[in-house]
Amino acid sequence: MDVRVLGVPMDLGADRRGVDMGPSAIRYAGLADQLEAIGTSCTDGGDISVPRPEERDPDAAGFDGGRAKFHRETREVCTDVRDAVSRAVDSGETPLVLGGDHSIAIGSVAGAAASEESLGVVWFDAHGDFNTPATTPSGNIHGMALSAVLGHAAFGGEGWGHVPAVREENVALVGLRDVDDKERELLRESDVAVYTMSDIDARGVPAVTEEALGRATEGTDGLHVSLDLDWLDPTEAPGVGTPVRGGVSYREAHSAMEAVADHRDRLCSLDLVEVNPILDDHNQTAELACELAASAFGKRVL
């Protein structure tokens, strides 16, 4: 497998600053060395250009019926991410997209789907990311990313994030434990498979992950995996944009990524997002991100 690393130093989609330094932190933690140690070719494609929030008005692209901060800038960045991911896939590489906040997945999913008739998605996250501009309590687009991909978050009548190749029945959200009230209603009305931390407690990570992957790969041409590091418990991953207690353990996270590796012949692309070095302890979250990437691409004990 030939992996192309793409950094997206983006924090326009979140309230808390710092995740823009995530790509640098992950690289510094030894990402390339981890991948090359398992025989995976790793080419660094550099960073996508992202505007500085201090130089922009978050509500400049305002519209009726809701709020989405830095809407115009996020759209521009995600378009660039889409094009970069699509080029990598077309050249036979597997894009590894480093965030940055989770809004960048709007672009990475679109890029992975560009050459596929159908794409399954597994979304490892503490949050639903299923708000819309009309339901969001914050206006932060990182909380609308999955909703946008599925065509629910119409930004001022523009469905720019919608990826028709991704159908709800081929999407699984794993590890949910922090959901807004209106977001909960939207998820219940959708055909997305939602596995909460209660499901993981009852059934275990291996069973839940295998079922999620089965849903995402059934009848689809490819697989996109989006891993928000806040999926893990903050004791394991303290340096994340929006930490929530009660997440998965270090070993459970590796078990899930090892299950992803079993499907790597279908894996089109992988996101690692929401690493925030400002909140981290000795870069341990970025180091963990590197380890989980290696597991997803095939690293084993034996």
Which residue numbers belong to the known binding site for Mn(2+)?
102, 125, 127, 129, 228, 230
Catalytic residue among 47, 116, 129, 236: 129
Catalytic residue among 11, 20, 73, 102: 102
- In what side-by-side order are the strands of the sheet with 193-196? 41-47, 2-8, 94-99, 267-273, 222-228, 119-124, 171-176, 193-196
Helix residue spans in the chain (DSSP H): 22-28, 31-37, 71-90, 105-113, 145-149, 181-189, 197-203, 205-217, 250-261, 284-296
90 noted as active-site residue: no
Cα–Cα distance list, 232 to 103, 195, 229, 248 (Å)? 19, 14, 6, 5
Catalytic residue among 230, 236, 252, 258: 230
3-state SS class at 209? helix
Cis peptide before 222 (omega within 30 of 0): no
142 noted as active-site residue: yes
181 noted as active-site residue: no
Distance CA 183, CA 286 (A): 29
263 noted as active-site residue: no
Q: Which residue in 102, 34, 104, 46 sits closest to 290, CA to CA? A: 34
Q: What does DSSP assign to residue 55?
A: G
224 noted as active-site residue: no
Catalytic residue among 20, 80, 101, 127: 127
129 noted as active-site residue: yes
Catalytic residue among 47, 73, 142, 287: 142
Binding-site members are 102, 125, 127, 129, 228, 230
Catalytic residue among 228, 233, 258, 291: 228
Phi, psi of 206 (to 5 degrees): -60, -45
Q: Tokens 């992988």 map to which residue?
A: 270
What are 162's two structure tokens?
């919608």
Catalytic site residues? 102, 125, 127, 129, 142, 228, 230, 274
